[in-house]
Amino acid sequence: MDYAPAVWVEACESNYTASERPESYPIEYVVIHLTTDILPVMFAKFKDPAERVSAHYMISATGTRIAQCVRERDVAWHSGSVWYNHRSIGIEHEGWTDQPVYVDKMYETSAVLTATVCAKYDVPVDRDHIIGHVEVPLSTHDDPGAVWDWDKYMNLVDTARRRIRT
């Protein structure tokens, strides 16, 4: 595993591409997602070879559980764009776009994970490099949704990133 606080819940090999990132592709982005389903359903989808989908990490709605499903060196199939998949880490959050379900603990847990990824791969902590799924060019998704508080999240990521530097 790449992130010590996470538990390993491996995606099916048919749902990601084995790689040797960052040597094969630079990691330049973190893509923020929303599951629109509960974690057990998402884990089942990631394990089902017919689904052809995965993410590197999943965070529970309460922020108390982090699962890693694909190693960071491998390419998760999360953004709908092969180019972005090759160059990003995908983080799913348990929740629904039409309901303000995001709690402080989830934001904090996610922000520390994102800051850790940014520190490890020298990804700038800004909105050009930490993006929502909706911001991937030609995306057909609208997650993480209008209720996602980007200002709050980016402040938390920035604070966590500064702590990692010291």
Amino acid at 96: W
Residues near 40 by Cβ (< 8 Å), separated by ≥ 6?
Answer: none
Amino acid identity of residue 56, one-letter, is: H
pLDDT in tens, 104-162: 999 999 999 999 999 999 999 999 999 999 999 999 999 998 889 999 999 999 999 99
Residues 6+ apart with CB under 8 A from 34: 92, 93, 95, 96, 97, 133, 143, 144, 145, 148
Please name the residue ranges forming H helices in the chain: 39-47, 82-86, 104-121, 150-165
Total-model pTM: 0.97
State mean pLDDT over 24-46.
Answer: 95
